């Protein structure tokens, strides 16, 4: 809290100056002369100074601007000596923004009120009449305090996210096949840049591992990595989760919340399953990427962001653009570089390496001593189609190791899905592409018992695209 002494009628420029006009200041006092003096004294030294004689304006002013320091009169007309009205407004300010830096202005400052003010959450106080040099020095130090608080708060959130990344299991991205060596080469080239990357591949191929490999080998590796599964975020929560919200923006907004973009600022943001976004959500995301700023729900103040963006999807996003279910301008923004991950069935040479890697991990996790996988078991793994890709292999190794009582995993230890029966295969009655597409859609929807989301995922389409095709064929 800061308390100022009333200046004389002659206002001389103080010798003390603030660092290159930094800081946004709000001054609240019922004496227009005091406010005039503050504007005259501080205007050359700060970025912005707003003043008001009415403390009831404080909430609205704080809503419209992020102030670094609030200069608050301790005594308004209702209570000219005790300072209680000033303490009441201090409490209200800290409810709005717990990180606010408040400096009291009073003509009745004494040791008792000073101690009470500090205990109540103020930063400093200055008596009227003030000394210009002291006032400017106090405001300058208070601005620095606010910046330090904001940095500390941001670092705290980012440290939590960095810890999550470091605690992630199976960080190593493994493969010796020619296909994976090409992926590794691309990662090495792209990681050193800030280029936006789009990762394409089936479920379980390791898209997030690629994103984390890009992050760990980038200049931003010491900053935060934020991963967001867009497929799990409803349209109603999309803006709140990604862009944040202010207190009272909606029923459950009991406090202000930073969105994923703001938390990731300075670091890397990974948006998984970006192909699941509706067109309206795509438009909002595109605006943020283009402007490099977010506006929290319930606010009109833009918050600048600085992120490295990595996106991923298992959908055929280029087909979605052709179907007009994904914005072409958004695709241009997110895929400066595109990385295509091959399915495990196309790189079976990596299966022994991956299996050995998972075996070591699960031996340690479950305190087992399984030394190897037998030749017949490895032949079984090599011949399997792996519709769930590397993730399915990982789970198969884990289950086999848990259930085995031997030091060697055999073919009997692996329970894999049976190959699809011949009778389940689609028999072509025509070569007309529309009729083939209609038959495939009918079959997949029936196999998924009418679950459109699952059917669309299996067909590599969005729900919107599948509905459009079903309408086209009268299904």
- Better pLDDT: 238 or 430: 238
Percent of the chain's residues with pLDDT above 90: 44
Question: How far out from the chain centre does Cα 306 lie?
Answer: 12
How many domains, in total, are found in the chain?
A: 4
pTM > 0.75: yes or no: no
- 295 forms bridges with which residues in the sheet? 302
Residue at 457 is within a domain: yes
Domain end (from 91, 116, 148): 148
Are 235 and 363 members of one domain?
no
d(CA 214, CA 165): 13
Are 131 and 175 members of one domain?
no
Per residue in 33-49, pLDDT (tens digit) is: 889 999 999 988 888 99
Per residue in 359-377, pLDDT (tens digit) is: 999 999 999 999 999 999 9
Q: Does residue 92 register a pLDDT over 80? A: yes
Are 107 and 127 contacting, i.e. CB atoms less than 8 angstroms apart?
A: yes
Residue at 7 is within a domain: no
Per residue in 422-467, pLDDT (tens digit) is: 344 555 556 667 778 888 888 888 877 777 877 887 887 777 778 8
CATH of residue 426: 1.10.10.60
Are 84 and 197 members of one domain?
no
Per residue in 263-319, pLDDT (tens digit) is: 999 999 999 999 999 999 999 999 999 999 999 999 988 999 999 999 999 999 999
The range of the structural domain enclosing residue 385 comes to: 344-413
Residue at 285 is within a domain: yes
Are 332 and 191 members of one domain?
yes
What are the φ/ψ torsions at residue 152 (nearest 5 degrees)? Answer: -65, -40
Q: Does residue 13 register a pLDDT over 50? A: no
Are 105 and 193 members of one domain?
no
Are 293 and 234 members of one domain?
yes
Residue at 11 is within a domain: no
**What tokens appear for 96 in the block?**
């709005």
Are 336 and 349 members of one domain?
no
Are 98 and 52 members of one domain?
yes
Of 58, 200, 69, 185, nearest to 138 by C-alpha is 69
Are 328 and 431 members of one domain?
no
d(CA 184, CA 206): 13
Beta-strand ranges (E) seen in 212-277 are 225-229, 244-245, 257-258, 268-272
What are the φ/ψ torsions at residue 415 (nearest 5 degrees)? Answer: -105, 105
d(CA 115, CA 125): 10
Are 262 and 407 members of one domain?
no
């Amino acid at each position: 809290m800061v308390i100022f002494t009333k200046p004389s009628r002659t206002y001389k420029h103080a010798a003390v100056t603030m660092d290159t006009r930094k800081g946004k200041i709000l001054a609240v006092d019922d004496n227009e002369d005091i406010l005039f003096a503050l504007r005259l004294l501080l205007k050359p030294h700060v970025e912005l100074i707003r003043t008001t004689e009415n403390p009831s304006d404080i909430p609205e002013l704080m809503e419209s601007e992020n102030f670094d320091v609030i200069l608050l009169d301790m005594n308004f007309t209702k209570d000219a000596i005790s300072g209680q009205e000033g303490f009441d407004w201090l409490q209200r300010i800290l409810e709005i923004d717990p990180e606010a830096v408040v400096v009291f202005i009073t003509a009745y400052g004494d040791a008792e009120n000073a101690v009470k003010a500090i205990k109540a959450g103020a930063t400093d106080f200055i008596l009227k009449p003030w000394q210009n040099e002291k006032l400017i020095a106090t405001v300058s130090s208070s601005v620095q305090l606010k910046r330090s608080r904001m940095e500390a708060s941001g670092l705290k959130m980012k440290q939590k996210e960095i810890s999550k990344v470091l605690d992630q299991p199976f960080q190593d991205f493994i493969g010796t096949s020619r296909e994976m060596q090409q992926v590794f080469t691309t990662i090495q080239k792209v990681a050193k840049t800030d280029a936006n990357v789009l990762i394409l591949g089936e479920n379980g191929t390791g898209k997030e591992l690629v994103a984390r490999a890009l992050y760990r080998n980038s200049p931003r590796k010491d900053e935060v990595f934020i991963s967001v599964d867009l497929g799990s975020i409803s349209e109603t929560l999309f803006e709140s989760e990604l862009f944040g919200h202010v207190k009272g923006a909606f029923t459950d907004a009991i406090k202000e919340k930073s969105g994923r973009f703001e938390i990731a600022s300075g670091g890397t943001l990974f948006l998984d399953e970006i192909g699941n976004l509706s067109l309206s959500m795509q438009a909002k995301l595109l605006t943020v990427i283009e402007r490099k700023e977010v506006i929290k729900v319930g606010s009109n103040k833009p918050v600048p962001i600085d992120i490295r963006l990595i996106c991923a999807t298992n959908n055929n996003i280029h087909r979605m653009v052709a179907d007009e279910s994904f914005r072409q301008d958004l695709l241009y923004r997110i895929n400066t570089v595109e990385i295509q991950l091959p399915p495990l069935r196309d790189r079976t040479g990596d299966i022994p390496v991956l299996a050995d890697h998972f075996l070591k991990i699960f031996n340690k996790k479950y305190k087992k001593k399984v030394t190897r996988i037998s030749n017949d078991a490895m032949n079984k793994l090599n011949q399997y189609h792996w519709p769930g890709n590397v993730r399915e292999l990982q789970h198969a190794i884990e289950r086999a190791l848990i259930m085995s009582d031997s030091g060697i995993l055999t073919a009997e230890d692996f329970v894999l899905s049976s190959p699809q029966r011949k009778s389940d295969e689609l028999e072509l009655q025509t070569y007309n592409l529309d009729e083939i597409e209609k038959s495939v859609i009918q079959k997949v929807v029936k196999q998924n018992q009418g679950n459109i989301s699952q059917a669309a995922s299996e067909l590599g389409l969005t729900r919107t695209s599948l509905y459009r095709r079903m309408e086209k064929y009268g299904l």
